[in-house]
Every structure is written in structure tokens, then in C-alpha cells.
Amino acid sequence: MRTPRLAVSAMFFLNGILFGAWAARVPAFVEAFALEPGMLGRLLLCLAGGAILAFPLAGWLSDRIGAASATRFIGIGYALALPLIALAPSTGFLALALLLFGAGHGAMDVAMNGWGAEVERARKRPMMAAFHAMWSLGAGVGALTGGGAVALGLAPLGHFVLIAVIAGGVTLFLAAIPWESRRSAAGPGFALPARGLLLVGLVAFCSSLGEGAMADWSAVFLIDVTGTDEARAALGYGVYSAAMFVARFSADAVIVRLGPVRTARIAGVVAFAGLAVALTGGTLSAGLIGLALLGLGYSVVIPLAFSRAANDPEIPQGRAIAGVATLGYGGMVLGPAVIGGVAQLWSLPVAFWMIAVLALGISALAGALRRT
């Protein structure tokens, strides 16, 4: 029953559940270390920084030993890194633990997308969106385990050990299948997209900057634009995430029918329309409909960008994905800060109109996703 598709899906799920478990317990660390917002922000930058630093090494390892082997190897390290966060005795050690955890998260992201692209090629059909849907599912399940652990009075260490052992053991068992991956002797390099993939990286950036902004600003946006209260505004990110999750499970069939370029062009327009509805509707209902459309639009962009990178005819697969991932993660890291800066200078609606323009950038640059 262990098929290549199931194996890759399991690894995407593992990456998501480990990250979701950590995200759900952030309040426990804020309380334990009496973290001010500024300090928490710097600690979260350690996590993002670890991922970005790991990209070129992960790309090199994937090319050297194969994406499948690299995914399983890195997955073990990533699972072991989760409990280390809970063992940190001070903020300095917590920063180091988050750096390692972020490195595992980012490195596994590069490797597993490479493996997913290989399964796509072997099966001669798009699958990447469905793999990313499994990441979303894993992150949601991880967050739910956090809520359950809090309800049971389980400390982060016990919670993280259980997740690492159970989820790690099951998914790594499902992924333990024979698979021959592409290999290359190319050495590691700084993980920015090579010239031929720069536009692909910019497509990922246009989407990921908006994705990063949604996590931190969607509730504030709904309050500012629609005048709703905090409790209802919290629905915004949930609606956005649910729409993205559902869309990813059906997106591969759309890509088969329309092709990656037309799909990306439509996705950019849908994302723009979603923000336009949310910005001009003036009601909570319009805001939620707009964020749902935004989730639909963004759902296919990153999977398409990674798939295109992995199939580049000139650049080794691991290095290509690492380069595109750098711009992708750069957008997610910069998104919340850029929104805050623009909102400070002008207003929050102006900041979100900027994201809408970038969504049209996805459509304008969609030709870069055409496989050569």
C-alpha cells in the first residue's frame, strides 16, 4: 500500500504537523520567557533565518544523494528538533533551537518538493498542489493537537515528544519505499534563483508576500475596513486558509485542463478580485468572501513555481528549488513588515491594494511557469 504518492504526501503532512504543533504552543513560550512582542519577533526571525540558510545546503544534498533520501534524512532531523525547543533554558538557547528547527523546516521543504516533482514526472500528471494541501492539513492537525495538549495540561515538551515520535514514526514508515532520484555532483551555492528561474522566483514572491501578510494582518484588516469586532475578525484567516486547503485538493485537475500558465494567470486575477471585493465591499460578509477568493487564487502559485523549478532543463533540481524557495520565504518574512510600514506611511487599505497589484503581477509573469 506504500505508493510514491502516499510517501510524498506523508512527508508533506509531517512537515506541516511539526510546524503546526510549534505554532500552537507559541503562547506557552511567551508566558514562560515573559517575551515582549519585539523579542518574540526576533525569535521568529531566527526560525525564518534558519530556513533561508538551509536552502542551499538542502538543494546540494538533494542533488547529491537524491531528493527522496534527502527528504527522509532531513525529516528525521526536523522531528528531533521540535522537542529541543521545549528544552531551551533561556531565550538565547531558544533562539538557537528555533534556528535549528527553522533549518529543518526549510531544508525539508526543498527536498520534499523535489521528490514531489519527481513523482509528478513519473506519473505524467500534476500532483504538487495536492501535496501542498497535505502540508496545510498537517499544519491544521498540528494546531489542533496543541489545543488538545493545553486542555489536557500537557507541557510543550511532552506534547512535542509525542508528535515527533508518533507522527514522525508513522510518516517515515509510509515514506520508506524504493525510489531512484535525480542526482548531480554540483556543489552548494547561494540560494538565489539562477537567471533562468528569476521570474519564477518573482512569481513565488508575489504570492508569498501576500500569504505572509494574511497570517498577521487579516484580522486587523477586517476590523479596519469593515468595522467588525475582534471575535468576528478572527474568522478571516480561517476562511482564507480553508479556501486554500480545499482548492489545493482540486487544483491539479484544473492544471491538467488549463496548463500551468493559464492557471497562474487566472489565479492572479482571482486573488486580485478577492482583495478588491474585501477592500470595497465595506461589510464583514464581503471581507470574508474576498479573503476566500484570495485563498483560492494563492493556492496554486507556490506549487506551480516549485514544479517549474524542479523541471528546469539546465539547473540541478535541488539548487533550482532552493533558489525559488529563497524568494518565496523572503516574501513570507517580509510580508508582515512591509504591510506594517506601508500602513504606517499611508493606511492599511493602501497596503492591501499593494498586495492586490502584486497579485496581478502573478498573472503578468505567469509565462515564466511554462515548462521548456
Q: What is the pTM of this model?
A: 0.83
| pLDDT digit string, tens, across residues 109-166 | 989 999 998 998 888 888 988 998 998 888 888 878 888 888 899 999 999 999 999 9
Alpha helices in 124-259 (DSSP H): 128-151, 156-175, 198-226, 230-233, 235-258
Residue 160 lies in a domain: yes
Residue 353 lies in a domain: yes
Sequence-ordered list of residues with C-beta below 8 angstroms from that of 287, at least 6 positions apart, any chain: 221, 222, 225, 226, 228, 236, 278, 281
Distance in angstroms (rounded) separating the CA atoms of residues 262 and 272: 16
- In 3D space, the residue among 323, 372, 310, 2 whose CA is nearest the CA of residue 127 turns out to be 310
Q: Is the pLDDT of residue 209 over 80?
A: yes
Distance in angstroms (rounded) separating the CA atoms of residues 136 and 15: 10
Residue type, 327: L
- In 3D space, the residue among 283, 317, 278 whose CA is nearest the CA of residue 117 turns out to be 317
CATH number at residue 96: 1.20.1250.20
Phi and psi angles of residue 4, each rounded to the nearest 5 degrees, phi first: -55, -40
Residue 303 lies in a domain: yes
| Same structural domain, 251 and 362 | yes
Question: So what's the pLDDT on residue 187?
Answer: 55
List the domain range (segments joined by +) for residue 61.
4-175
Residue 184 lies in a domain: no
C-alpha cell at 133: 494541501
Q: Is the pLDDT of residue 189 over 60?
A: no
Q: Which residue has the higher pLDDT, 245 or 335?
A: 245
Residue 183 lies in a domain: no
| Same structural domain, 164 and 308 | no
Q: Which residue has the higher pLDDT, 74 or 1?
A: 74
Q: Average the pLDDT over 176-187 and give the result.
A: 74
